[in-house]
Each structure stands twice: as C-alpha cells, then as structure tokens.
Chain A
Amino acid sequence: MDAFYASVEQRDDPALRGRPVVVAWKGARSVVCAASYEARTFGIRSAMPAVRAERLCPEALFVPPNFTRYRAVARQVRAIFRAHTPLVEPLSLDEAYLDVTDHLGRFPSATAVAVAIRARIRDELQLTASAGVAPNKFLAKIASDVNKPDGLCVVKPKDIDAFLLPLPVARLPGVGKVMNDRLAALGVRTVAELRRLDAGALDARFGRWGRRLSALAHGIDDHPVNPDRPRRSISAEDTFAEDLPQHQLAPHIQRMAEKTWAAAETHGWRGRTVVLKLKTADFRILTRSITPASPPTCADDLRRLALGLLARVGPPADTRYRLVGVGLEGRLAPAEAAPGRQASLFLAAAE
C-alpha cells in the first residue's frame, strides 16, 4: 500500500487531499509513522523525528495515528488478496507476499492477477497499491518499490539480469548499513559486482549468509510464500517524553513487561527468552537477554526478569535513556509451556 496510513487519512478527510500530510503524534519526541507523497517531496520520511518533519515543511498537516482504523483497512486489503490465493504471507500491516503460481483462476498470468488486485483496491477501498511481479519473493519485493506510488513492475525470468545487476547491493534484503560497508570494503557496490565475487570467498567471509548473498546476486531465492509464518517474538517499547537516567527506568520497564505479557496472552504465546532493549540519548541501542531455566509463566515473572536485566546494563551512571522495550523470544511449544509436569517444592504463596 502506498503511504498507507497517510493515504487512509487523506481518503477519509477531503481537507487533507493533495496536501502534505504527516501521521505522527504531536510532541518533541514523536516519530513520523507515515508521510503522504506530497509531504515526501519536502524530504519527510517515516521514522524521522516529527520535529524535523515540521522543520522541513512547516505547512504540513499533522494527524495523530489511528491504528485501529488502519488495521481495519488492512483486513479489507487482505480479504482481497485471499480472494485470489490462500498463499498470502503478510510482511507488515500493509505489505504481503502472494503466491499465485497455482491460483491464477480465470487470469492468464500473474501480471493479470496483480492488475486485478490493484483495480479492486482502488475501486473498493479508494486507495492505491504498488505491486511487483517476479518469479520469487525477493525480486517481487524489490520490484514492488520500483514504480511507487500506484505502480506495477514485472520482472520476467528472462529479464532478471537486466533488472537485478545494475541495482546497488543495499537493495538486497538483509543488506543493511553494516553489510553494505563491509561489501563496499571489498569494492562491491552493485549486484553485478557482487555476482563477480567468488561464491567460495563469500562463504568463507560471511558463512551461511554469504551463500545466501551469492544466491541473491544470481536472482535465486527459493523461500516459499508461507501463509502461516510463526511469530518469532512479542515485544513492546516506548520512547519517553524526556531522556531518563537509569534509576528512573524501572516503572517504564514494568509497564512494558505488562504490555508484552498481555500481548503474549492474547496470542496464546509463550517465550523462553526475555529481552530488555534500551536506547541511549545518543541513539545507541543496548540489549540484554536472559533464558532462565524455567520460562516466565506470568506477568510478574516477566517483570522481575526484565528488571533483573536492567541491573546487567551497568554504568556509567550519567547515561540517559530515551526508550525502553521488553520482549519475549524463542517460542515455546504448548507442551513445554504447560506448567506442572515438574512439581515444585514451594507453593507460590510460600515465595
């Protein structure tokens, strides 16, 4: 979906149409959730501090996010996807992979399916979506970004090299800033240059990930579209109104632990590893994790474990923090999550 949250706002409020719209809470610390294409011409991007967005475009219209409404629209979008194929793998609220290989229905090609889906989204929801059509997931994802907004990009098997080779390596999934720098150190900037590297050398340098990188450089990706990809983690985080010293973090960690536990409960999800995430005032991210012998079984366990991790963060005492998050990882199978196999010496009341 193109500028999803901003587009939903513009659709529902005619006064916002054709104008720079920024979806963000008002506040010194808030971050842009979405920016309309009009706002993007001013250089505003999502995840940018709202203050900076305001400076870039003082006349932008700021709208507080309404996630309940976005989720409802996302459900409508997914219903349209599912009308075409059961193989829908959501990537985020407004993005998904669809495998239509065996589900073309009355359409002659995958491209025709993409055209039909985009038309339905436009007609039924008055929103625009961009699509990439390709023989595999990673090419489709890159292609979907090519003609944004309201665009369609088709990469046929015979056109893969022409499409892929000129791209900068940073466009490949998994190549972030660090990897990009490491590749640049090897003189690799484009996919073509990456392909020229010896697969063995990539393997030796980056291991399993090197082999994957080498496959991507050749346009190969056999990850299937997985409609029920299991959730890997559950977490909650919050940015404070002002930076806080370490000794004031405890109540916020407790709050996030409770939120995370509530979310885990809703999904019937249990994890074995507890992760505490902190972001310092200068945007360094610290994480501490613990995998206790007996996984947390209640909100109080999670709270205590997360607070215990805080003690492991250590000084310097003058460090200030702008964000805390508490997460659960390492899904437990229901049988392991079920307590009571091993009896306890002490009843909860005695502790």
Chain B
Amino acid sequence: MKITTNRNDLLAALNQVIGVVERRQTLPILSNLLAEVHEAELKLTGTDLEIEMETSIDVQNLEPGKTTLPARKLFDLCRGLPESAAIELNVSGDRATLRSGRSRYTLACLSADDFSSLDTGELSQQIELPASELLKLIQRTQFAMAQQDVRFYLNGMLLQLRPGTLNVVTTDGHRLALARYEMPDEPSSDQSADLIIPRKAILELARLLGQVDGNVVLHFSQGQIRVQVDRLRLTSKLIDGRFPEYERVIPQHSDKHLVLDRERLRQALARCSIFSNDKFKGVRLTLGNGTLTLQSNNPEHEEAEEVLDVDYQGEALEIGFNVVYLLDALTTMPGQNITLSLRNADSSGLMTTSEEPTLRYVVMPMRL
C-alpha cells in the first residue's frame, strides 16, 4: 500500500475517528486504525468493539492495499507536522514509512485481517430529522446519563420513537431528563421503536452533528444504529436492555409551583454548593410565604444561606436536593424563567420552562 496526500487532509480525517480509539487498550489492534486504499481513496476506521467510526479522504493512490496503523502516534505526528506538508505513506509488511520533506518515520503495523469491524448487516429502519434538532435533544439531556452504572441500560440515552414524536430520555436513577421533538407529518414518522444508544456513541454523535447543516438520517435495526454524514460514518451497538418506564416517575400531582429567574437561582445554588458536603452535595430548600430559602452546610460547620423572593402563598415545605442535580438542569435549560414544581419532602421535584414546554427535568429529593 502506498499513497501521497497532505498533512491537513490526513489530520482532518484522523480527527474524525480518533475519539473512538481508547487510550488504554487491552487488545493492541484496538489502538490501531484500519487503513484501506482503494481507487483514489484512503478509508480510515477506528473501533472500540462497541462503536465504529469510518471516514475517507481523497489521496493519490500509488499502490492499493490495507493495513492497520497506530492511531494515537499517527495523529500526534500529523498534528506536529507543518501545515500543508506533503506526506507519502508507504506500507510494506509490518512497517509503515511516512515521509514528509526530509523527515522519515517508521510505524509498526498490524494485519488488517485481525481488525474486527462491526457486522452492520441490514439496517432496515430509519428516521430523518434536522441535525440541529437532534443535537438540541442530546444537549438538553445528555448530562443525566448514568456512568458505569450496574444497570447498564442507564449508561446511555433512550430514543423513543412514537408516531409523530421522538422522545429522548436519560436518567441515572436519581434524576431524569426528557426532551421531545414533534415530527412533521410524514409517512416515515409513523413508526415505533425504543433505542438505547451508549454514552460514548452519544458524545461522538453530538460532535458529528455540530458539523451538519440540514437533515440527518439515523439508520437502525434491533441491535445497531448508524449515522452517515458526508464521508463520515458512525456505527454503534445499541444497549440491549429495557429502559425503565420513565413516564411513571414524572410527577403529576405537584401542588406548589414556583416561577423563578433561572440565572438568579442557578447562581445562588452555585454559591451554596461551595458550602455543601463534598460527598452528598446536599442543599436544603425551605419554602415559606413569599420566600424560598436555600441552605447548605458541611462537616466543618461552615454554612451558606440565600433568600429568594417567590410568588408563593401556602403551605410551608422543607426539602433537600443534591445541588449538582439542580445545577445541571438549570445550566442546560433555555429561557429566562423556570418553574419548579414540588409536592412534599419525599416526592420528586419537576423543573419546566415555558420556552420549551415539552422539556422535563425530574430530581428525586435527598434526606438531609
């Protein structure tokens, strides 16, 4: 295999696929990218066996062939080369020689036959929506995905497809985020499916969607999802599990509704969080006539107290929350004002905004 290309093209391609290659690998070949030269194209593929990213660039093909190249080294090298430097890459046996100007680098290759591609099979279903809308759904909800939870089905994002709507749900078991997209009336939108996309694929997908104008098509089947944007293709396994019935935990019977300035509440909570216990991050909300008091303290007996004016007359309430959960939601929500709906000290809190009425953030309380 032998090609000539330039540093900028190669770096741009590497940049698109490098994210999927884990820094620490148990299997040496997973640190490598599959490189295939066919006609006037170099195709690069990276995988962690869950997600696969594939892209291609135009090159001058001097000799077709395929191999695998050490991803991180190649990436770091290209980054370090001068802009628009010409590159010649020549693979012979288990050695790749990269020449640029008077510099020469030799990289160790592993056989392309040992590289495991995700078996894509037939991805029979698809949905199409504006990339900006999908990106917004992800941005509104991704913070609530679980991380390394034993309930593996929480370590991802639920895309719940129903006729006419797409619900996106994330939860770590303590809080939940729900965003909704109303699909335009089209025949293809008349389908139902529940897809749980793994956390890492969501992060890659968000990165990819940022570069797209117009629509994006998600191809999926029972076990896989695939997105193709220009020459970049992301394929991911879906999490094989049953997502909890999230509708049941969205509070329906809240009777105390507080309209609050989002930014003021966020700043007050951020200050309180400095004084909360590092482990539990608790903050106490005390609701009285016309005021909402925020309090936190830590084992060193340091304290914070903030009082906000609210338009509320009624029963008093004292309730504790993990301040990080409240802050995550407030940071993500759009709009000037938000509504915090509560019922009692044991029931979950609901945050909504008139800016995007279908957006729901649910947070379970914490006993303080």
Residues of A within 8 A of B (CB): 286, 290-294, 296, 301, 304-305, 308, 312-316, 336, 340-346, 350-351
* Min C-beta distance of B275 to chain A, whole Å: 18
Interfacial chain B residues near A304, Cβ < 8 Å: 150, 152
Q: Are B150 and A296 interface neighbours, CB within 8 A?
A: yes
- The reply to whether the CB of B367 lies closer than 8 angstroms to some CB of chain A is yes
Chain A: minimal CB distance from B253 (Å): 16
- Contact present for A336 and B279 (CB under 8 Å): yes
> In the assembly, what is the distance between CA of A308 and CA of B50, in Å?
14
Task: Please name 11 pairs of A and B residues whose Cβ atoms are closer than 8 Å in the assembled complex, sorted by A.
Answer: A291-B148, A304-B150, A314-B30, A315-B27, A341-B366, A342-B366, A343-B348, A345-B174, A345-B244, A350-B245, A350-B248
A15 CA / B106 CA spacing, docked (Å): 69
Asked if A345 contacts B176 (CB within 8 A), the reply is yes
Provide the residues of chain A in CB contact with B245, threshold 8 Å.
350
Which one, A292, A336, A341, A344, contacts B148 given CB within 8 A?
Answer: A292
A336 to B280, CA, bound (A): 9
- In the complex, chain A residues whose CB is within 8 Å of the CB of B175: 345
> Assuming the A-B contacts A292-B148, A304-B150, A345-B364, are A316 and B174 also in contact, with contact meaning beta carbons closer than 8 angstroms in the complex?
no
Complexed CA–CA distance, A294 and B148 (Å): 9
Contacts of B191 in A (CB 8 A): none
B346 at the A/B interface (Cβ < 8 Å)? yes
Are A312's CB and B148's CB within 8 A?
Answer: no
Q: Give the distance in Å from the alpha carbon of A296 to the alpha carbon of B171 in the complex.
A: 18
Q: Which of B193-218 contact A (CB under 8 A)?
A: none
Complex CA–CA separation, A342 to B283 (angstroms): 12
> Taking A345-B348, A345-B362 as contacts, is the C-beta distance between A314 and B26 under 8 angstroms?
yes
Known A292-B150, A345-B362: A350·B244 in contact at CB below 8 Å: yes
Q: Is the CB of B364 within 8 A of A343?
A: yes
Distance (whole angstroms) from the CB of B95 to the closest CB of chain A:
23
**B16 at the A/B interface (Cβ < 8 Å)?**
no
**Does the CB pair A292–B149 fall under 8 Å?**
yes
A342 with B150: CB separation less than 8 A: no
Q: Give complex CA distance A292, B172 in Å.
A: 12
**Interface 1/0 per residue, B8-43 and A, CB below 8 Å:** 000000000000000000110010000000000000
Residues of B within 8 A of A308 (CB): 150, 152
Is A346 in contact with B26, judged by CB distance below 8 angstroms? no
Residues of B within 8 A of A286 (CB): 26
Least Cβ distance of A21 to chain B in Å? 42
Enumerate B87-113 residues with CB–CB distance to A below 8 Å: none
Instruction: Tell whether B297 is near chain A: CB-to-CB under 8 Å.
Output: no
Which residue of chain A has its CB nearest to the CB of B282? A341
Instruction: Please give, as numbers and ranges, the residues of chain B lying within 8 Å of A344 by CB-CB distance.
Output: 173-174, 364
| Chain A hits for B248, CB < 8 A | 350
Known A342-B174, A345-B171, A350-B244; judge A305-B150 contact (CB<8 A).
Answer: yes
In the complex, residue of chain A having the shortest beta-carbon distance to the beta carbon of B242: A351
Q: Which residue of A lies closest to B150 (CB)?
A: A304
In the assembled complex, the CB of A303 is this many whole angstroms from the nearest CB of chain B, namely 9
Residue ID in chain A nearest B279 by CB atoms: A336
Residues of B within 8 A of A350 (CB): 244-245, 248
Q: Is the interface of A mostly helix, strand, loop or mixed?
A: loop
C-alpha spacing A342/B249, complex, angstroms? 15
Shortest distance from the beta carbon of A247 to any chain B beta carbon, whole Å: 15
A341-B366, A341-B367, A342-B322 in contact; A290/B148 too (CB < 8 A)? yes
Q: Is the CB of A340 within 8 A of B367?
A: yes
The answer on a CB contact under 8 Å between B146 and A293 is yes
Residue of B nearest to A305 (CB): B150
Q: 0/1 per residue, B291-333, Cβ < 8 Å to A?
A: 0000000000000000000000000000000100000000000
**Interchain CB contact under 8 A, B249 and A346:** yes
A290 closest partner in B (C-beta): B148
Report Cα–Cα, A344/B363, bound state, in Å: 9
Q: Chain B 231-263, CB within 8 Å of chain A: the 1/0 string?
A: 000000000000011001100000000000000
**Complex contact B147–A293 (CB within 8 A):** yes
- A344 to B173 Cα, complex, angstroms: 6
B127 to chain A, nearest CB (A): 27
Q: How far is the CB of A285 from the nearest CB of chain B, in Å?
A: 13
Known interface pairs A293-B172, A315-B27, A350-B244; A343-B150 also in contact (CB < 8 Å): no
CA distance A291 to B148 in the complex (A): 8
What residue of chain A has the Cβ atom nearest to residue B345's Cβ? A343
| Least CB distance, A287 to chain B, in whole angstroms | 11
- A293-B148, A294-B149, A305-B150 are contacts. A343–B346 as well, Cβ < 8 Å? yes
In the assembled complex, the CB of B176 is this many whole angstroms from the nearest CB of chain A, namely 6
Complex Cα spacing A223 to B104, Å: 55
Which residue among B49, B150, B173 has the maximum number of chain A CB atoms within 10 Å of its CB? B150
B264: interface (CB < 8 Å): no
CB distance from A304 to the nearest CB of B (A): 5
A343→B366 CA distance, assembly (Å):
6
Give Cα distance in the complex from A77 to B173, angstroms.
50
In the assembled complex, how far is the CB of residue A341 from the closest CB belonging to chain B, in whole angstroms? 6
Smallest CB-CB separation from A344: which chain B residue? B173
B362 → chain A closest CB, angstroms: 7
| Given A343-B348, A345-B171, A345-B348, 18 other A-B residues pairs in contact with their CB atoms under 8 A | A293-B148, A294-B173, A296-B150, A308-B152, A312-B26, A314-B27, A315-B27, A336-B279, A340-B367, A342-B366, A343-B174, A343-B367, A344-B173, A344-B174, A344-B364, A345-B174, A345-B175, A350-B244
| Residues of chain A with a CB closer than 8 A to B366's CB | 341-343
Q: Which 3 A-B pairs have CB atoms at the shortest separation, nearest pair first?
A: A314-B26, A343-B364, A314-B27
* Contact indicator A341/B26 (Cβ below 8 Å): no
